[in-house]
């Protein structure tokens, strides 16, 4: 009995994969860790699989497409391992429909994953608390339909074309061999390998899932005849693989059609399918030379990636890349920060401040409001819009009137820019700023087209282009992000940055500089409709002072490259460059200036707000009754210190990097605390700080997952907290929207009303 189990075909295939095909098995393990929420939970990767969104909603169609791509990945696994190892098991050649029998016996790993996935996604959907749980059955049927449809089509093809030994050699062997014009180049080697093979199999599962004894007496069949059966089957699989890759390339040509923008999970699974097929092809054709040849190819393509064809920059749409690049050196930076230029920019901003003051009664001294909003992807964008709506409502539509500047990073600035544009249009277009549809718009899925474009375009050679302001640019996943964002928000932010110069100057809306980090030297790039050079250097610097400038003014530096024509959404994207999702933008300079997410320098926007207060402290002292700094955080300011378990050996290797990542938020918070307290102590005007937090602790208490002392299970908090991503699940959106009702945030709203408007 033990031998029948160990030497059954399914178990032998499993053992073979664990010994030889670890990379292919690792892909299944990664997927399993994702759906079990053991990998990528902070970034929301599991939710892409457990709650797939298609055409901006979770539906049976999304699960259908995930089912289709998972079936394709499964068949890629079957085909690749069959090509690599099928010939080791010669008895398959005399079994009817050998490949289909191989798939049945090779299904331990896929079957285990399917069970895990079904349990995981059904449990997740039950936790979503649908009004009618029959929708979960619909999702299950959609997934099943996608899977079964794909399997049916592929297996019908193989049933019609797959031949066993007796069908292939019904005529004389000599007659069949004469029809073979080009024999396999590696046939002799494979014959020798087959003769040396010692894989023992005593029984196998047939199509009816019944065990049958393996036919051991194959001596009367010539080895090269048996191998021809596998060769014929291999050809069918190569055709299938070529068809799948061709389909992906064709989809790339029409990727802007929303019906073709499949769920991000489906795109990821297709990428795994391609990797599986590539690994199989390399291992099959290159054999022992696969490793050195792959290394040589990587080195060769690494060399080619430095050429113009393979390394075309990701552009900032609207800018002029045809003019002579701007000189990016210390002399040019020093020239732009000449004291006369800085003074000129300061005087221009003083006129903006005077226009802000003119909105209030002549003899009054109004409170000046600064909004500092943190980064955090779509989570921060939705939370920022939610807080601004409530702040405007509780202040009887006075909050944004008092707001002079909005600073911040990443998603927070995206949300603030969206609300600011709604505020600008509210009178002319009679908009209701408090309409819940704007929360739906800012939180609609942006990720599917990005991942899909990465798969069908950016991993290959980008060759499609589009025109913007009569200039041509290459399409990439950055374009996909901007295009989808425009669709989600009804094109409300489809403007050049220069279009905001007059509204900001007249103080119809607050100033909103976008401040991405320059990766070349760590400085900030201050992007606004007018120069703000005073944000990058101290005004009191003396002759011979060796102060290093902290920022570069975008308008001055790229004055000859259409700085005012920069697409505003491109500017927002520059400040919200999520690694590997939206590409780093290269600007037209020599050497090339490359930007990255604003959150790397200050994820909370506090530094820029305090810097502006310091520069204009004399005016603020004379014309206001003080400053209110409203901080909108997408994370807790105070968090419990967790007990650390002794690290294991492998954990010690990654602990230093992990500690930097985990504490980056805390380090920036502590630095901002020092700056704020110093400013509060030295400023010649009063400063009041009001903080809003997206905190899941109160939510956990209300759900009964934490006691009143705040003791909770960290794993439960991780699950309930919205992920850092450009796509949110329905449960995550509800968590963010409802968080405004927490005790802390309600007290912040009350303080805001009292401090500002009940003076």
Per-residue model confidence (pLDDT) at position 357: 96
* The pair of three-digit structure tokens given for residue 79, joined into one six-digit string: 């085909």
Q: What angle do CA 617, 619, 620 make, to 5 degrees?
A: 60
Number of Cβ within a 10 Å radius of residue 730: 15
Tally of CA atoms within 13 A in the half-sphere of 591 that contains its CB: 8
Return the pLDDT at 273: 87
Residue whose tokens read 């045809």: 322
The pTM score is: 0.84
Give pLDDT, residue 743: 87
What pLDDT score was predicted for residue 580? 73
Q: Please list the residues that pair with 474 across neighbouring strands.
A: 465
Identify the bridge partners of residue 58 per DSSP, sorted by sequence position. 53
Do β-strands 524-526 and 551-553 pair in parallel, antiparallel, or remain unpaired? Answer: parallel
| pLDDT block averages, 10 residues each, the chain of length 759 | 80 91 92 89 84 88 95 90 80 78 92 96 84 90 95 82 47 40 43 50 86 66 50 61 71 74 88 82 70 78 68 88 93 87 94 96 92 94 97 93 96 97 92 95 89 75 83 91 94 96 97 95 95 88 70 94 96 88 91 91 94 96 96 86 68 62 80 94 95 79 57 50 80 90 91 75
575 — phi, psi (to 5°)? -85, -5
Task: Considering only CA atoms, give the Rg of the chain.
Answer: 31
**Cβ of 159: how many Cβ atoms within 10 Å?**
12
Q: How many CB atoms lie within 10 A of CB 600?
A: 18
β-pairing verdict for 517-518 and 593-596: antiparallel
Q: State how far the Cα of 251 lies from the Cα of 501, in Å rounded to an integer.
A: 41
DSSP β-bridge partners for residue 372: 407, 631
The DSSP bridge partners found for residue 465 are: 474
pLDDT value of position 609: 97
Structure tokens of 405? 């500047």
pLDDT value of position 593? 95
- Whole-angstrom distance, CA of residue 369 vs CA of residue 627: 6
For position 30, what pLDDT does the model report? 94
Residue 640: partners with Cβ closer than 8 Å, 6 or more residues away: 710
């Amino acid at each position: 009995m033990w031998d029948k189990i160990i030497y059954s075909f399914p178990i032998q295939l499993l053992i073979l994969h664990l010994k030889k095909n670890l990379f292919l098995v690792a892909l299944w393990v990664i997927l399993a860790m994702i759906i079990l929420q053991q990998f990528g939970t902070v970034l929301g990767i599991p939710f892409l699989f457990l709650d797939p969104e298609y055409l901006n909603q979770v539906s049976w169609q999304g699960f259908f497409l995930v089912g289709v791509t998972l079936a394709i990945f499964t068949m890629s696994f079957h085909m690749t391992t069959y090509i690599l190892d099928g010939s080791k098991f010669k008895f398959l050649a005399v079994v009817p429909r050998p490949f289909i029998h191989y798939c049945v016996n090779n299904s331990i790993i896929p079957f285990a994953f399917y069970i895990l996935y079904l349990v995981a996604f059904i449990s997740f959907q039950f936790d979503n608390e649908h009004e009618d749980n029959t929708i979960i059955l619909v999702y299950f049927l959609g997934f099943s339909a996608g899977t079964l449809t794909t399997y049916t089509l592929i297996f019908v093809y193989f049933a019609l074309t797959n031949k066993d030994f007796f069908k292939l050699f019904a005529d004389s062997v000599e007659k069949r061999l004469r029809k073979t014009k080009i024999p396999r180049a590696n046939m002799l080697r494979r014959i020798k390998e087959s003769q040396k093979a010692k894989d023992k199999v005593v029984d196998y599962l047939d199509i009816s899932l019944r065990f049958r004894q393996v036919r051991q007496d194959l001596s009367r069949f010539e080895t090269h005849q048996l191998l021809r059966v596998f060769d014929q089957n291999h050809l069918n699989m190569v055709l299938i693989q070529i068809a799948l890759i061709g389909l992906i390339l064709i989809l790339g040509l029409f990727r802007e059609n929303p019906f073709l923008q499949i769920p991000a999970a489906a795109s990821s699974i297709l990428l795994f399918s391609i990797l599986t097929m590539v690994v199989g092809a390399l291992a099959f054709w290159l054999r022992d030379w696969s490793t050195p040849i792959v290394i040589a190819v990587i080195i060769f393509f690494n060399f080619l990636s430095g050429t113009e064809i393979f390394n075309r920059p990701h552009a900032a749409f609207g800018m002029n890349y045809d003019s002579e690049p701007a000189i990016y050196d210390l002399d040019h930076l020093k020239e732009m920060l000449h004291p006369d230029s800085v003074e000129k920019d300061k005087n221009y901003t003083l006129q903006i401040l005077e226009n802000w003051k003119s909105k209030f009664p002549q003899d009054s001294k109004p409170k000046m409001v600064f909004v500092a909003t943190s980064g955090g992807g779509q989570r921060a964008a939705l939370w920022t819009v939610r807080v601004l709506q409530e702040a405007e409502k509780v202040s009887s539509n006075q909050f944004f009137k008092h707001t002079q500047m909005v600073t911040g990073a990443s998603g927070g600035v995206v949300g603030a820019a969206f609300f600011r544009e709604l505020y600008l249009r509210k009178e002319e277009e009679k908009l209701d700023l408090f309409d819940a549809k704007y929360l739906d718009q800012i939180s609609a899925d942006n990720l599917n087209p990005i991942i899909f474009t990465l798969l069908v375009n950016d991993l290959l050679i980008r060759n499609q282009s589009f025109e913007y302001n009569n200039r041509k640019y290459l399409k990439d996943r950055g374009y996909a992000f901007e295009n989808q964002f425009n669709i989600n928000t009804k094109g409300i932010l489809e403007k050049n940055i220069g279009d905001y110069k007059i509204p900001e100057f007249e103080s119809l809306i607050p100033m909103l500089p976008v401040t991405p980090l320059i990766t070349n030297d760590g400085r900030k790039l201050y992007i606004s409709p007018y120069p703000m050079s005073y944000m990058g250097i101290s005004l009191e610097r003396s002759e011979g002072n060796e102060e290093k400038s902290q920022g570069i003014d975008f308008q001055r530096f790229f004055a000859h490259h259409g700085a005012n024509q920069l697409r505003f959404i491109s500017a927002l994207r520059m400040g919200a460059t999520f690694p590997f999702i939206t590409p780093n933008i290269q600007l037209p300079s020599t050497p090339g200036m490359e930007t990255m997410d604003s959150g790397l320098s200050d994820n909370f926007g506090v530094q820029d707000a305090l810097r502006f207060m310091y520069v204009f402290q004399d005016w603020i002292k004379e014309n206001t009754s003080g400053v209110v700094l409203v901080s909108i955080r997408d994370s807790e300011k105070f968090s419990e210190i967790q007990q650390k378990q002794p690290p294991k050996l492998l954990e010690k290797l990654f602990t230093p990097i992990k500690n930097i990542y985990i504490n980056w938020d805390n380090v920036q918070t502590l630095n901002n605390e020092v700056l704020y307290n110093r400013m509060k102590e030295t400023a010649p005007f009063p400063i009041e700080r009001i903080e809003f937090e997206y905190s899941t602790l109160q939510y956990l208490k209300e759900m009964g997952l934490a006691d009143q002392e705040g003791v909770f299970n960290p794993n439960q908090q991780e699950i309930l907290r919205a992920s850092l991503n450009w796509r949110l699940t329905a449960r995550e959106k509800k968590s963010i929207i409802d968080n405004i009702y927490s005790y802390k945030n309600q007290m912040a709203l009350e303080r805001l009303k009292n401090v500002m408007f009940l003076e």
